[in-house]
Amino acid sequence: MSDVLTENEIEMYRETGLLFPKTLLSEAEAANYLETLEAYEKETGGPVNGKWRYKSHLVFSWIDELMRRSEVLDPVEELLGPDIMIWSSHLYPKEPGDGRFISWHQDSAHWGLDSDKILTVWIALTEANEANGCMRMMLGSHKDGIAPHRDTWNPDNILTRGQTIDAKIDEEKAVWVMLKQGEASFHHVDMWHASKSNETKNRRG
């Protein structure tokens, strides 16, 4: 494996818990993956929902292929070290105007894993921006361990139990993780993050 991250990028991740944007795919490659997903949805009668959103690589061969690409794994190895393992994969498309959101939470609070040497690679198959519901992050929040969470069971919350951090959050301090098609972000398992609903007429993939 050749070095794919600079020292500054590695330090940025360590200090803030976040690294973005990083180009992993060409726009054409990202569009091709999106077309494959949408062809399946057309065949089955609607957007991917429910259980197909989680551990999606067990269902969709294209996701299994995508997550094993060196463009994805090499940066992860530089951030976490060798002997890495992929634990899961998720599909989180946001349909235009559907009103669903993701509340402020930490992945570590509900994944039930016993290590904090874990990160998420979020790959944009479409552009992700403020209007269509890109992620927001609280930089440095990964340094404070796991915060108390409560379940809200809000039906508009994409998270299964509507789990949210039980604390007052100054959202003005949050960073919008805006990505172009084919770009990715890397965030620490303890990072506080959320995303708003898609208010545009186009899908966020």
Q: What is the pTM of this model?
A: 0.93
The per-residue pLDDT for 1 is 54
The per-residue pLDDT for 21 is 97
Compute how many other C-beta atoms are within 10 angstroms of the C-beta atom of residue 88: 13
- Integer Cα distance of 204 and 105 in angstroms: 20
Please say whether the beta carbons of 52 and 58 come within 8 A.
Answer: no
Domain membership of residue 104 (yes or no) is: yes
Number of domains the chain contains? 1
Domain membership of residue 202 (yes or no) is: no
Domain membership of residue 205 (yes or no) is: no
Peptide bond into 82 cis (omega under 30): no
CA 159 to chain centroid, in Å, comes to: 13
The per-residue pLDDT for 31 is 97
Q: What is the residue-wise DSSP string for 101-133?
A: BEEEE-THHHH--S-S--EEEEE-SS-B-TTTT
Q: What is the residue-wise DSSP string for 54-94?
A: BSGGGT-HHHHHHHTSHHHHHHHHHHH-SS------B---B
The per-residue pLDDT for 112 is 84
The per-residue pLDDT for 3 is 75
CA 10 to chain centroid, in Å, comes to: 19
The per-residue pLDDT for 134 is 97
What backbone phi and psi angles, to 5 degrees, belong to 196?
Answer: -90, 175
Q: What is the residue-wise DSSP string for 186-204?
A: EEETT-EEEE----SSS-B
Domain membership of residue 108 (yes or no) is: yes
Domain membership of residue 125 (yes or no) is: yes
CATH at residue 112: 2.60.120.620
Domain membership of residue 147 (yes or no) is: yes
Domain membership of residue 1 (yes or no) is: no
Comparing CA positions, the residue from 46, 49, 28 lying closest to residue 38 is 46
Q: Which domain holds residue 129?
A: 7-195
User: pLDDT by residue for the chain (205 residues), tens digit each?
Assistant: 557 999 999 999 999 999 999 999 999 999 999 999 999 999 998 888 777 888 999 999 999 999 999 999 999 999 999 999 999 999 988 999 889 999 999 999 888 888 999 999 999 999 999 999 999 999 999 999 999 999 999 999 988 899 999 999 999 999 999 999 999 999 999 999 999 999 999 999 8
Domain membership of residue 2 (yes or no) is: no
The per-residue pLDDT for 57 is 93
